[in-house]
Structure 1
């Protein structure tokens, strides 16, 4: 017979939301990246912790990011800006399964070992899966940020023997999410390959 002690909080559907058994994903850092290729935002999240990034840009642009480790911490780098597009400043939201420094007063949860795993000032990750195609643009009706990811690649017939290939990645600005396009070469045959068919999105106004 096993016993469980402490407080658990469930979602409306009955699934577990917060439990003394684990630290949930919470907002740890928020920062910006200028519209400069290879610029990056380094978090305070150690490499040994899981980390999820979400981004939004000032303007719609074709951009690509890379998740890296810098000096033992998670970081997000603006890897590429397609010529002729300008994203403006990128806002970065970094989530991890670690506890932020609490203030002197408030509610907190502890595991059986007495370690704090959550307190009332932490902002939990609340993300939604949105179905997408290789090329997409959707107005979600609220300010949003999207997890950087490669979506797939495809080509189109420019001439009978020239079909430029484009890799697509995720982008978000204002209330919209969209696919960014990056030229990747050419082929003489049709190509269409999705990597994913859903993207993770947050309502950025919750964390601003």
Structure 2
């Protein structure tokens, strides 16, 4: 762009009317129930990016959700749980602008508001999973993802194990990001496949969203 507002950070463009991050649209606290379907506020056809974290420590807990466009016209999340149930919080981002204020800071493009002062931008950081857990002093959230499948054993029997990415509090009051066992099955015969592993993922730091989402979303 040749004129107008531009926000730079460390010499890089991070915001302009033609270059905008997704913003927080919804925060939902989800009580565990197998197969539970949660409807979001994001209409079908709009971008919908979701991160989650557990909100309490439960030993061996794991979960993932299926994200889909729902029959009622809005994106849905279908939750499934592994070795133990646990409460979770989901953070939902899109290019839809919630809670547009009457006065304040606005960005316009072609006469329409594309950003305002109540928006909380999506800020994603890369995470390299090395098979263990990384401990932090602040809460984080990750996308829902199956990250590893192994089939190990011998000619007599084998174990199939599925792992998912997780984020949440530890038993010592800190927070971690890593993989958790979701399910395992014992079967007769040799291993079925060599499996797969996804070592890279991403995360968001949630302290700002947890503190200000009600003010941002007007709830």
Same fold (TM over 0.5): yes
Counterpart residue number, 1:156: 152
Counterpart residue number, 1:200: 202
Distance, in Å, in 1 between the alignment partners of 2:203 and 2:139 is 10
1:48-94 CA-partner distances (Å, limit 9, x unpaired) = 1111111111234121211122211112221x2224x121x211100
Residues 160 and 73 (structure 1), Cα distance of their counterparts in 2 relative to 1, 3 Å cut: same
Counterpart residue number, 1:118: 115
Distance, in Å, in 1 between the alignment partners of 2:5 and 2:112 is 14
1:122-162 CA-partner distances (Å, limit 9, x unpaired) = 000111111014x43221331111111121211333x5532
Residues 44 and 22 (structure 1), Cα distance of their counterparts in 2 relative to 1, 3 Å cut: farther
Q: 4+ residue runs of structure 1 moved beyond 4 angstroms?
A: 184-187
Counterpart residue number, 1:142: 138
8 Å Cα contact 2:127-2:201 kept in structure 1: yes
Counterpart residue number, 1:65: 65
Unaligned runs of 5+ residues in structure 1 are none
Displacement of 1:184 in angstroms is 5.6
Counterpart residue number, 2:81: 81
Displacement of 1:97 in angstroms is 1.4
Aligned length: 198
**TM-score between the two structures when normalised by the length of structure 1:** 0.86
Distance, in Å, in 1 between the alignment partners of 2:3 and 2:98 is 23
Unaligned runs of 5+ residues in structure 2 are 170-174, 211-219
Displacement of 1:106 in angstroms is 0.9
8 Å Cα contact 1:23-1:98 kept in structure 2: no
Displacement of 1:30 in angstroms is 0.4
Displacement of 1:22 in angstroms is 4.2
8 Å Cα contact 2:14-2:20 kept in structure 1: no
Counterpart residue number, 1:4: 2
8 Å Cα contact 2:129-2:178 kept in structure 1: no
Counterpart residue number, 1:180: 180
Does 1:165 pair with 2:160? yes
8 Å Cα contact 2:99-2:118 kept in structure 1: no
